[in-house]
Structure 1
C-alpha cells in the first residue's frame, strides 16, 4: 500500500456493498487515548472497566467510536459482521462494558476507513490490498502490534517473503 496511513494496516471489513465499503483498522494504537479516559470524555463512569488501548480505526471521522465485539451482546444499532464479530457504534455498548454486562470480547477504535462505490475493488485490482479471511484469534487475542504478521500467518503466508513490488505475467 503506497498510502502511509495504511502501512501494515489490518482492517475488519464491516460493510461492503454497491454503495461502498467501511472498515475498522485494528492494527495501530491511537496514541494518548485510553478506554477509561474515553469513557470519562463521553460522560460514562468507567467503574471497573479495564483501561484498554483505543485503536486508530482509520482516517475518516477520527472522533467517532466503534466497538468490534463478540456476538454475545447486541444493541439497537449493532451490525453483525459474519462470521467474525459484531460492530456497535452507540454509547449503549460503552455503558454495558463499563457496567460489566457488555460483550465478552471487544476492541474499540476511533475513526474508520471508507471507500466509495467501486473504489475498494479498483484498489484491489492495483494490488493495494489483500483480502484475508476473518480470524477471531487475531482480532481478540493478539496484541495490536502483532496483528499484521499474525493475519498473514493465519492465511498460511510467511510475511517475511512479501515484496513491495508487483509484476504481471
Structure 2
C-alpha cells in the first residue's frame, strides 16, 4: 500500500525561519540553512549572526593557515569574507557553505540546488590561495537537533520552513536576511503574531 507523506521526507536544503515567539534567545530572528535532516535529527547553519569580535584574517592566524606576523593580502572575494556564528554546537569548528564550483573529495557534502558544505581547513587554504569557491559563507559552530526535536519545535510554532535562496545565503547584509526569507514565502513580519496560534 502506498504511503502519502503530509510533509517532505527531508527538510535539508530549506530555510528554517525563527518565529517571533522563539523561546530560545540564541535563535531569535534567525534564518538557518538546513544541511541535513532525517529521522535521527537535523543540522543547520545560522545565516544571520556575525561573530562580533573575530575577523577572517584573525581566524586564519589562529588556525595557523597564515603566519601570525605576516601581512594578509587576500584575493577577491576572500577579502570580503566575514566570520559568522553558525550555532551553539562545536563553536570552535568552521563550516563553509559554498557554491558547487569547489568540491573536495571526501569532505564536501552537496546539499541541494548547487549549495555545498565543507568543514575542513583545506577549503580555507583554497580561499586564501584564490582557488576556493566563487561564493562562500563561513560560520563557526552549527545548530543541531536530536531525533524528533526539530519536528516538535516546528509543531509548537517555533519555526517556519521555506525554500532556500542562494542570494540570501551569500549576501553579507545579515540584518535583512530574516525579513527577506519571510518575504520569499509571502509573509510580512507584521503579519506574525507573537502569540502562538494553532489552526
TM-score, normalisation: structure 1: 0.95
What does residue 6 of structure 2 align with?
none
The Cα shift of 1:81 comes to: 1.3
8 A contact 1:84–1:134 mirrored in 2 = no
* Structure 1 Cα separation of the partners of residues 102 and 35 of structure 2: 17
What does residue 10 of structure 2 align with?
none
* Structure 2 Cα separation of the partners of residues 64 and 36 of structure 1: 16
1:86 to 2:107 alignment: no
Aligned ranges 1:7-156 → 2 under 5 Å: 7-45=28-66, 46-48=72-74, 49-76=78-105, 77-83=107-113, 85-141=115-171, 143-156=173-186
The Cα shift of 1:152 comes to: 0.8
Evaluate the alpha carbon distance shift between residue 167 and residue 51 of structure 1 in structure 2; reply closer, same or farther with a 3 A threshold: closer
| Secondary structure at 1:40 match in 2 | helix
Question: Residue deviations 1:142-163, cap 9 Å, x none?
Answer: 5111111111112221122211
- Which deviates more, 132-141 or 46-55? 46-55
Aligned counterpart for 1:6 among listed residues 27, 31, 42: 27
Q: Which has the larger radius of gyration?
A: 2
* Structure 2 Cα separation of the partners of residues 24 and 56 of structure 1: 8
Q: Structure 2 unaligned runs (5+)?
A: 1-21, 67-71
**How many residues are paired up?**
169
Evaluate the alpha carbon distance shift between residue 59 and residue 13 of structure 1 in structure 2; reply closer, same or farther with a 3 A threshold: same
* Structure 2 Cα separation of the partners of residues 167 and 155 of structure 1: 19
What does residue 196 of structure 2 align with?
166
* Structure 1 Cα separation of the partners of residues 113 and 148 of structure 2: 24
